[in-house]
Chain A
Amino acid sequence: MPTLPSMPSGHSRPSTSKLMRKETGGGSGLLAMVLVIVSLVLFTFNVGETNGGPLTAVSGVVQTIVAPLRLAGAGILAPFAGMSNVMRNLTADEKTLTELIEENERLQARNVELEEAEVTARQLQELLDLRSTYNLQSSAAHVIAGATDSWSATVTLDKGTSSGFVVGMPVTDSSGAVGQIIACSATTSTVRLLTDEASSVAAMIQSTRAQGMLEGTPDAAMRLSFIRTDQTVNVGDIVVTSGLGGVFPKGLPLGKVSVVDRSPGSTYYSITVEPFARIDNLEEVLVITSLTEEQQVTAEDIEQSDAADMEAASGEVEKVEESSKSNEVEEDTETTDADDEEGSSSKKDEEDEEIEGAYVSPYSARRKED
């Protein structure tokens, strides 16, 4: 271990106060006084700057320059942000923990309530949007029950005749039409859904305006009938109400074409439609209480529809006549007996019936809808 060199003899150590007097010489004090005055001047000016000024601007520049560093610091220290709570949590007593557990349960229940309210509010907002978009004269209702039997697709609403509902009124949700009221009591209404086997709505393909009837099926899908094979239908086409039935307003969304099947020799497509509405999960719906003038179908629309149907029917008749002629030629060449003639005539009768059967216009079919 090194030893201290010995102090020279006769050389006494000067005192600290003596050193101070020798070293400072008042220079530091004077400088400090000047800097204090500068600080006070800066302070006075800075406090006097009400709507910004040079000193405030300088401060702002410094803040801007160090902002990325502050951000980085916050990012680096983020994982340790909760460490200050660790000790407090460790020393929490039983009563505090019990209270926290109870409060947590209460808040969870409240959270569920609020989430439910949020969903309802969103659904109602969507209904209001739909009402606004289509200018619907309507009243909102809540679905309180589903079908009471396994054969029908119906729901029960919480409003009835006391709210102005009557049988026949169309019902929609935020995504489009869902059905029609088929029974009303004072406080409830029963709605037959579009997917019910007994349901049918005058509909059309939105893009091509091809008109038909949208009917429910036993397998809860929907089938669009009476769309002629000379018209264009593609998977994904939107199906909307045509308004020809006089019940639904024109142009309400119904669904989307999911399957298009064209059998050889058939006059009409077999089209399956996937509904837009969440038929199985209905909660809030709009009941359309009346149609405005522009929502009702015009006489011109009906005429156009009839003309198209007549054209389709005449084409079908010609086709069947040609088929009959060819049958007659075949019959001439063959030996016939009375029984055969009877069979032929009965076949012809059947074909005639088929022609008549084929001639079911969407407009005439609306009687079914009505």
Chain B
Amino acid sequence: MQVKDTNKSRRSHIALALGCFLLQVMLSPNVGMGYGRINFALIYAGVYALAVGGRQAVITGFLSGLLYDALTVGPLGVMGCLLTVMSLALGLEERNRFSDGFVSALSAFGVGSFVVLVLYHVALSMLGDSSSLVDVLFMRVLPSFALTFVCFLPFAYYQVRKSMGLRGKHAGSKSAGLRENYYDIRNL
């Protein structure tokens, strides 16, 4: 459920999408750990699903995944499929889950992103990109997950603060976020 679907919020998401796209193209190929690379498409889909959810998140996840597939040498559709499912799962409640707190958002994203990365790399290994599952897990999945998760932290932090309305002198207080949740419930 979106209570405040204002133009400001839309602009914010467009800026986020553009930023993630640029980071995926410019930063991701140059920053790695082992074979691991940061997946900013996953981050964007996760942020959108947790912040907005619903049908829009599903479409966003699908398009992000498809763009990711087009930017890599892997086959089209794998990440698109996985991010569609992840966006559906994370955005099932159709509310801003960042307002539940930082840890809650991180947990949800951590589980979702890990499953996505495992399935993605297993799928590619089955297509012949790698013959060893151990190699896939330790050399590709875990480094990619670690990097992606670390890069998700600032996005999550920003979204949590934003959702709790803590951008001014009340930063650090939970009351604003609680108030927002209360009004959301009243509008049901």
The answer on a CB contact under 8 Å between B25 and A59 is no
A interface residues, tally (CB under 8 Å): 44
* Secondary structure class of chain A's binding surface, majority of residues: helix
B residues less than 8 Å from A76 (CB atoms): 26
Cα of A39 to Cα of B119 in the assembled complex, Å: 15
Q: A28-B91, A28-B92 are in contact. Are A46 and B76 (CB under 8 A)?
A: yes
Q: Which residues of B contact A (CB under 8 A)?
A: 1, 22, 25-27, 29-31, 53-55, 57-59, 62, 65-67, 69-71, 75-78, 80-81, 84-85, 87-88, 91-95, 127, 170, 173, 175-176, 178-179, 182, 185, 188
Residues of B within 8 A of A39 (CB): 62, 65-66, 77-78, 80-81, 84
Contact B25 A73 (CB under 8 A): yes
- Decide if A14 touches B185 in the complex (CB within 8 Å): yes
On whether A72 and B26 interact (CB within 8 A), knowing A35-B84, A40-B77, the answer reads: yes
- 10 closest A-B pairs by beta carbon, nearest first, are A73-B26, A43-B77, A39-B81, A42-B77, A32-B88, A62-B70, A39-B77, A39-B80, A77-B30, A35-B62
At the interface, yes or no: A1 with Cβ under 8 Å from chain B? yes
Chain A residues contacting B94 (CB-CB under 8 Å) are 20, 23-24, 28
B80 to chain A minimum Cβ distance, whole angstroms, is: 4
| Residues of A in contact with B (beta carbons under 8 Å apart) | 1-5, 7, 13-14, 16, 19-20, 22-24, 27-29, 31-32, 35-36, 38-44, 46-47, 55, 58-59, 62-63, 66, 69-70, 72-74, 76-77, 81
11 residue pairs A–B, Cβ–Cβ below 8 Å: A5-B179, A27-B55, A32-B85, A35-B58, A35-B81, A36-B85, A38-B80, A39-B84, A43-B78, A47-B75, A76-B26
Given contacts A46-B75, A59-B70, A66-B71, 17 further A-B contacts (CB under 8 A): A2-B175, A4-B175, A4-B178, A5-B179, A23-B54, A28-B53, A28-B55, A28-B88, A32-B84, A39-B65, A39-B77, A39-B78, A40-B81, A43-B78, A59-B76, A63-B70, A77-B30
Query: Which chain B residues border A38 with CB–CB below 8 Å?
Result: 62, 77, 80
What is the distance, in angstroms, from B55's C-beta to the closest C-beta of chain A? 5
Is there an interface contact between A20 and B93, defined as CB atoms closer than 8 Å? yes
Residue ID in chain A nearest B184 by CB atoms: A19
Contact A58 to B182, CB < 8 A, known contacts A28-B88, A36-B85: no
A178 to B81, CA, bound (A): 77
**Which residues does chain A contribute within 8 Å of B69, judged by CB atoms?**
59
In the complex, what distance in Å separates the CA atom of A62 from the CA atom of B63? 14
In the complex, are the beta carbons of A36 and B81 less than 8 A apart?
Answer: yes
User: B127 to A47, Cβ gap below 8 A?
Assistant: yes
* CB <8 Å contact, A42 and B29: no
Chain A residues in 8 Å Cβ range of B62: 35, 38-39
Residues of A within 8 A of B55 (CB): 27-28, 31
- Determine whether the beta carbon of B173 is less than 8 Å from that of A77: no
- In the complex the two chains form, what is the Cα distance from A62 to B75 in whole Å? 14
Closest A residue, CB atoms, query B182: A4
Which residues of B sit under 8 angstroms from A4, Cβ to Cβ? 175, 178-179, 182
Contact, CB under 8 Å: A73 / B93: no
Q: A42 CA to B68 CA in the complex, in Å?
A: 14
A5 to chain B, nearest CB (A): 7
A280 to chain B, nearest CB (A): 52
Choice from B67, B78, B93 contacting A16 with Cβ under 8 Å: B93
B67 to chain A, nearest CB (A): 8
Contact partners of B1 in chain A: CB under 8 A:
19, 23
**Contact (Cβ within 8 A) A19 B188:** yes
* Min CB gap B90→A, angstroms: 11
In the bound complex, what is the Cα–Cα distance between A291 and B172 (angstroms)? 97
The minimal Cβ–Cβ distance linking B45 to chain A, given in whole angstroms, is 12
Q: In the assembled complex, how far is the CB of residue B81 from the closest CB belonging to chain A, in whole angstroms?
A: 3
In the complex, what residue of chain B is closest to A69 when comparing beta carbons?
A: B25
Q: Residues of B contacting A35 with CB < 8 Å?
A: 58-59, 62, 80-81, 84
- B76 cross-chain contacts in A, Cβ below 8 A: 42-43, 46, 55, 58-59
The answer to whether A69 and B26 have CB atoms under 8 Å apart is yes
How many Å lie between the Cα of A24 and that of B54 in the bound state?
7
In the bound assembly, the distance between CA atoms of A36 and B86 in angstroms comes to 11
Q: How far is the CB of A163 from the nearest CB of chain B, in Å?
A: 59
In the bound assembly, the distance between CA atoms of A62 and B179 in angstroms comes to 44
Instruction: Tell me whether B188 and A36 are in contact (CB under 8 A).
Output: no
Contact status of A5 and B182, CB under 8 A, knowing A22-B188, A62-B71, A66-B25: yes
Interface contact A42-B80, CB-CB below 8 Å: yes
Chain B contacts of A3 at CB under 8 A? 175
Q: Which residues of A contact B53 (CB under 8 A)?
A: 28
Q: A39-B80, A43-B76, A46-B75 are in contact. Are A81 and B88 (CB under 8 A)?
A: no
- The residue in A28, A76, A81 that gathers the most chain B C-beta atoms within 10 A of its C-beta is A28
Residues from chain B with a CB closer than 8 A to the CB of A2 are: 170, 175-176, 179
A31:B59 contact, CB within 8 angstroms: yes
